[in-house]
Structure 1
Amino acid sequence: MLGSTIINHRQHVGLQQLFALAAAAHSTLGPHKKYKFIQDEATGESILVGSCFRILENLDLTTCAVGQLVHETVRAHHEVYRTGSEYLLFFAGAWSRAALSCLQQGIPTFRIVEALTEGMDVCVDVCKKSSVSFDALCASPRKRVTEAPSDTKVGKGKRQVKLSRYFCNTKPERSPVLEPRLPDIANLAGGLSHGCDDAMRLVIQASRIQSKDIPSSAFDVTKVTTCVLPGFPEDHAHICPGCVVLLNGEQASVAHHLKDQPLDVVLISGDLSHTYRHLGFNRPAGVQRVADQSDLSNLSVEEEWIGKVLALLSHLEVDLVLVSGLVNEAVFQLCSQHRILVVGKVKASILKEMANAIGAVPVTYATQLSKRCVGKGVQVSIWREIQSHKGTPLTAANIYASASARLVTAIITSCVHGKVQALEDRFWACAYRIHHALKDKAVLPGAGVTEMLCIRRLMKKVDAESPRDGTSGSNPYLGIVLHLLADSFKEYLSALMANATGISQVKARTAVNQKLQDFNGISAEFSQLILDSDVPPSKIFDNLSVKQESWRKALDLVLLVLQTDAEIITGVDQSKCGDHADLVFL
């Protein structure tokens, strides 16, 4: 990845590396992603990836500090939002290039930081003023979205936004905020599918199952899990009530014995292993275990622990053990021999839902189990017998509790084994877009409209900063940086258009510039160029919180690398430095 970009080692290497890595995001922007095959050299297996998160996950970035920082930033964002990673990485690259351009023009580092921060404040303000509340969505069809005046106030109270550690908080107005009505998820889903219509249909199905006894707009993503079944056509994908898991031969034998019976269940929130310690655990220093000299059994610590756990499970008459982490292989085999079904890697949110439904008390260590921890009312049914891509038999079993009607599983299928991960990622992206829209109670105009509004506002700010009386504002370089920020949004729109239509970046940039000149609201022609979609442009949405958080993380990443580079190049020790006006230290 870095080999395709020439790096000048006499200048800010970190920013150059960040820009080079961000090239991975270009092909994954928009609904028409260019999928890539990644082959494992050790095993020879290949997978199909369609997101920058998966690309970075499969790259060896151990020799590149910036690469590791980028991966950790994208991973942290993906774990929370499951969408927007491409957006984050793209702008990290675009803004790193903008910072490099500023440095080449001799702009001091602290002025770059100051101007980028002010420019981002402008873009956040655009989001606040162009966001569409659920009240507006429910009340009437969307009207044309135009740029709001800079002094326009927000639809019933300002949202408190903390975009970055470099930004100040805007205190919310102390006025009553009416709870907005929630739109029907089916209507909202069309605008948030972003070309993933099949995945979004699964989300709608999950919502309908969850909302049998409550309003149709309800959707709880924490009570949704996925089960991947390679070997079946993609149109076999569907939603199933309960928690569907894949079992191997030993587990399946136990499941057949226990099927359709009321089971006693215990929940372990962590690894089921004698070496597991909870997060934050510190082993006391200088403490050694002294073996009892009279003990002639020669049992290891692990064997003693396994015997204690098995005896405890048998005493409590446990039938099913659900574990959020990994399971010790010896424990797994012994439990199977005693007809105790153990299932690992269960989502923590699913454990929590099970605990609430059956009255079980999750524990961190198996040795903490007692009678009060055991839950009742769970059943296991054999859902389907299948063959894995390696030819080994697998059994899909459904673990369900009658008191947990909102627990559902998305069955992801494909005849191509290497494609199932990409399909699973698309489902989660759609599910979390709906989740965050319901959480924000507002959406942003999509199809590139928000970015166009940002460009317009930034250029107005540039014009306002142009000196007319021979004087300049507090930051004489603000106009230059804001112009570069506007260019980064143009670059983003051009990349979207190029991916959607197959035209060159040059032609896409020309089309974007032309549309910006004619921009007066949402253009149907432009939105179709951007997304190549039949969805009416007034019904295409983006997530408010996801977009803002992507900007925040991208800017934090750029400023961190920028300032670290500056400190390395100057060789100034912060603890010994004097007054350096051109440096902003971390």
Structure 2
Amino acid sequence: MAQQMGNQPLIVLSDESQRTSGKDAQSMNITAGKAVAEAVRTTLGPKGMDKMLVDDTGNVVVTNDGVTILKEMDIEHPAANMIVEVAETQENEVGDGTTSAVIVTGELLSEAEDLLEQEIHATTLAQGYRQAAEKAKEFLEEIAIEVSPEDTEYLEDIAGTAMTGKGAENAKDVLSELVVKGVQSVAEDGQVDTDDIKVEKVTGGAIENSELVEGVIVDKERVSDNMPFGVEDAKVALVDGGLEVAETEIDTEVNVTDPDQLQQFLDQEEEQLREMVDALKDAGANVVFVDGGIDDMAQHYLAQEGILAVRRVKNSDMKRLARATGATPVTNATDVTADDLGDAGSVAQKDIGGDERIFVEDVEEAKSVTLILRGGTEHVVDEVERAIEDSLGVVRVTLEDGKVLPGGGAPETELALKLRDFADSVGGREQLAVEAFADALEVGPRTLAENAGHDPIDSLVDLRSQHDAGNTGAGLDAYTGDIIDMEEEGVVEPLRVKTQAIESATEAAVMILRIDDVIAAGDLSGGKVGEEDEEPAGGPGGMGGGMGGGMGGMGGGMGGMM
């Protein structure tokens, strides 16, 4: 980049910098965005396929969870990364709908490309898209269905819908029941903190063997074999320090001149430990969880009193134990009183999948629960966990908002219809942007049909005619290819999944469209093609065939991915 000054060119950018401006920059960013969407498109819906991602250390992830795919892929292109953020926002806010959010973003960019070629300004497009998104959210509110937090069956449908098409699908009835039970247990005043639902993965057994423990599982063993294996009607004490003699903060030197003096020291230490154990015993505790260490002598005394003790318990587990049993953590064991203790029907060390763990269960009104997920192999358990996390997210959001929408592409078709009507009332060139937005939304049902092996055009035509006739809940049954009432079929998802997806997709698309200059400090090209050969891997602006670095143009076997 050089500016002419007199006869002297003025150099502003360094030699390594790369600048792409105007149409080229827009085209490059749109291509990158579309490529990201293309990467996850085939995973959408009940018949979506999976991706196998192998990182540079050889770790393998097999998944069809949009956000996981995009995080695992080594994406370098800045515009592509903006779309990965859309998936991450969707995951954090609602837990499901990450793939939908990304493919809508890709489609908004694709539609914009045609309009930009017709000399419509990017700012006009941005205004039209924003207007359409606002209107879309209003329309969605209108067609939303109210659902009560006590309606367990409905909530199970929602949990099941989020799992469909993922590895857990064949056991979705069992799992959705566990998810709903778990969320209902920890809900307080209509709010749910999913941290209160701990997911423990155990390799071995079938997915159907998964279970919900109303309480906490601590991945530790009791400190001494002389302690009881299990305790019924447990009184649980939580100590935020250790059961050991405190070390002095300052370096001190004590000269012992007489063996009796040394004995005195040792007796004193022993006495301190004895006091701690006595305090626990007097308070009535028969189970103790400690987040520090437990001295050997203290272990001996605890075992003598028949108290089951566990040491070095993680902070997060201590919080869960407090919520589950109602115990109040104390910093010093000698201060413990009967009021500080929590209750559990049983605390026992059990073997699960070859590992010994401590189960704290049979807790009344447990405000912290544990889901044990089983599966034949590690990859299966990992994928079930991802499905469960999406499922927990949607049930949480439904409990909080109390509003759901039919699935199967029904809301998108309805929105497209209403937005086309709305476009007529929008003046100027923004009207074209609103129509483009309506077309972009139909990518949902179209992709669902494609992935399920049905004709996307026929499916869309059928869907539109049903919605024209006023069937707002009509969606595509991916298994049969028929258009059916999704609400009756129990295929429903939270309203927030859709509103959030539309919101973040619009924001990302608008942000990318408004960029007309990309100035990169380094090289945006697709890295090395061969060992010595440093040509860019093609694509606009020497850009790795549409996506920088890690993705070598998507078509080329997804560079950093396969």
Interval containing the TM-score (normalised by the shorter chain): 0.5 to 0.7
Contact kept, 8 Å, 1:359 with 1:376, in 2: the verdict is yes
Q: Contact 2:322–2:329 (CA<8 Å) still a contact in 1? A: no
Residue 126 (str. 1) matches residue 76 (str. 2): no
Aligned to 2:207: 234
Task: Give the residue type in structure 2 aligned to 1:341.
Answer: R
Which stretch of structure 1 is more off in the superposition, 525-534 or 67-76?
A: 525-534
Partner of 1:484: 436
Check conservation: 2:204, 2:377, Cα contact below 8 A. yes
Deviation of the 1:411 alpha carbon: 1.5
Give 2:421's aligned residue.
460
How far did 1:437 drift? 1.6
Partner of 1:426: 387
Distance 1:523 1:336 in 2: 71
Distance 2:183 2:499 in 1: 29
1:129 offset after TM fit, Å? 0.9
Partner of 2:56: 41
C-alpha contact (below 8 Å) 2:215/2:324 kept by paired residues? no
Letter of the 1:498 counterpart: E
The C-alpha deviation readout for 1:278-330, integer Å capped at 9, x for no partner, is xxxxxxxxxxxxx98x8799xxxxxxxxxxxxxx99996694246xxxxxxxx
Q: Deviations over 1:360-413 (max 9, x none)?
A: 37xxxx89x9869975446642232434xxxxxx22331347355343222211
Contact 1:210 1:218 in 2 (8 A): no
Matched, 1:15 2:12: no
1:557 aligns with 2:489: no
Distance 1:9 1:35 in 2: 33
1:121 Cα deviation (Å)? Answer: 1.6
Is it true that 1:495 corresponds to 2:447 in the alignment?
A: yes
Q: What percentage of aligned pairs have identical amino acids? A: 15
- 2:98 corresponds to which residue? 85
Per-residue deviation at 1:127?
0.5
Any residues of structure 2 matched to 1:103-502 within 5 Å, and which? 103-134=116-147, 182=149, 184-190=151-157, 193-194=160-161, 195=164, 196=169, 198-205=171-178, 207-208=180-181, 221=194, 223-247=196-220, 251=221, 257=227, 259-260=230-231, 262-266=235-239, 319-321=288-290, 340-344=310-314, 346=316, 350=320, 353-354=323-324, 357-360=326-329, 376-377=342-343, 380-387=347-354, 394-400=355-361, 402-465=363-426, 473=427, 476-499=428-451, 501-502=452-453
TM-score, length-scaled by structure 2: 0.67
How far is 1:424 from its partner?
Answer: 1.2
Name the structure 2 match of 1:305: none
In 2, the alpha carbon distance for the partners of 1:255 and 1:31 equals 50
Alignment partner of 1:193: what SS? helix
The Cα of 1:349 is off from its aligned counterpart by 7.3
After superposition, residues 47-86 of structure 1 pair within 5 angstroms as 47-61=61-75, 63-86=76-99
Report the CA distance between 1:341 and its aligned residue.
2.0
Residue identity matched to 2:311: L
- Residue 61 of structure 2: SS of its match in structure 1? strand
Query: Are the structure 2 counterparts of residues 463 and 69 from structure 1 closer, same or farther at C-alpha, using a change threshold of 3 Å?
Result: closer
Instruction: Kindly state the Cα deviation for residue 184 of structure 1 after the two structures are TM-superposed.
Output: 2.0
- Could you tell me which residue of structure 2 aligns to residue 280 of structure 1? none
Distance 1:430 1:115 in 2: 34
Whole-Å separation in 2 of the counterparts to 1:429 and 1:351: 25
Gaps of 5+ in 1: 1-7, 135-180, 269-290, 298-311, 323-330, 388-393, 466-472, 570-586
Structure 1 residues 360 and 343: CA distance shift in structure 2, 3 A: closer
Matched residue count = 442
Shift in alpha-carbon separation, 1:60–1:321, aligned structure 2, 3 A: farther
How has the CA–CA distance of structure 1 residues 37 and 230 changed in structure 2, closer, same or farther, with 3 Å as cutoff?
Answer: same
CA contact (8 A) 1:38 1:58 kept: yes
Aligned mates of 1:37, 1:347 — CA distance in 2: 33
Give the partner amino acid of 2:289. Answer: L
Distance 1:536 1:493, change over 3 A: closer
Aligned counterpart for 1:100 among listed residues 86, 106, 113: 113
Q: If the length of structure 1 is used for normalisation, what is the TM-score?
A: 0.64
* 1:29 to partner: Cα distance: 1.3
Deviation at 1:246, TM superposition (A): 3.6
Report the Cα distance in structure 1 between the residues aligned to 2:362 and 2:159, rounded to whole angstroms: 32
Q: Which residue of 1 aligns with 2:476?
A: 527
Q: What secondary structure sits across from 1:346 in the alignment?
A: helix
CA distance in 2, matches of 1:419, 1:427: 12
Q: Which structure would you say has the larger Rg?
A: 2
Who is 1:566 aligned against? Answer: 516
User: Does the C-alpha gap of structure 1 residues 527 and 68 become closer, same or farther in structure 2, counting only changes over 3 Å?
Assistant: closer
Cα distance change on mapping 1:332 and 1:405 into 2, 3 Å: same
Deviation at 1:418, TM superposition (A): 0.9
Distance, in Å, in 2 between the alignment partners of 1:72 and 1:21 is 12
Q: 1:209 to 1:92 in 2, by over 3 A?
A: closer
The CA deviation string for residues 113-166 of structure 1, in whole angstroms up to 9 with x for no partner, is 1100111122111111111123xxxxxxxxxxxxxxxxxxxxxxxxxxxxxxxx
Q: 1:225 to 1:99 in 2, by over 3 A?
A: same
Q: CA RMSD in A?
A: 4.3
Partner of 2:535: none
1:542 aligns with 2:557: no
Q: Any conservation in 2 of the 1:122–1:454 contact (CA below 8 Å)?
A: no
